[in-house]
Amino acid sequence: MGAKVAVIYWSRGGSTEQMAKAVAAGLKESGVDADLFKVSEVDSSVADKYNGFALGCPAMGKEVLEEKVFEPFFASIEKKLKGKDVALFGAYGWGDGKWMREWTERAEADGAKVLKPGLIVKTSTDFMSRIKQAFGKEQKIDQKPCLDYGRKLAERFAKGQKLHNSK
């Protein structure tokens, strides 16, 4: 198995998608082989093909992961995350990041090496933003924290691989 990271995300309004692209860019510029997927493009077998993951999903429902597609996907791979580097990120609108704290705890309980804290980006949910979004105009997300999070994951991932290879 090559040392590869899969960046897999769900996004409705495009904010978490922008985050995913920047996280992937941060990984790549740090020399990590990273592939970017929408969650609808993969299934649980993806967990056997990669040894690091950056997973993105906004806060949906009532402070939970999106329930129709992302939650079942995550449930299908979580037991395979044991011992692997996992970064979690997503956009949110009005909460306090509860969904991310619970997601982080869950991934840690699965034995994943989660890059903490997970990256959360607050988006606007005022009337005008909602109207614009309804017409397909996504909000512009600050790339910097996402690039940095990707770089941080890359650093830890590279260290882990070195240890692994020297065993």
Ligand X SMILES: Cc1cc2nc3c(=O)[nH]c(=O)nc-3n(C[C@H](O)[C@H](O)[C@H](O)COP(=O)(O)O)c2cc1C
**Chain residues that interact with ligand X, rule: CB under 6 A:** 11-16, 58-63, 91-95, 123, 125
Closest separation between CB of residue 12 and ligand X, Å? 4
Closest separation between CB of residue 39 and ligand X, Å? 12
Closest listed residue to residue 22, CA positions, set 38, 42, 40, 36? 36
Q: Which is nearer to ligand X, 13 or 150 (by Cβ)?
A: 13
The DSSP-derived string for 51-85 is SEEEEE---BTTTB--TTTHHHHHHHHGGG-TTSE
Closest separation between CB of residue 94 and ligand X, Å? 5
Q: Which residues contact 72 (CB under 8 A, 6 or more apart)?
A: none
Q: Which is nearer to ligand X, 26 or 90 (by Cβ)?
A: 90
Separation CA 142–CA 147 (nearest Å)? 9
Lookup: tokens for 157: 């991932």
Q: Which is nearer to ligand X, 100 or 154 (by Cβ)?
A: 100
Q: Which is nearer to ligand X, 30 or 37 (by Cβ)?
A: 37
Closest separation between CB of residue 167 and ligand X, Å? 39
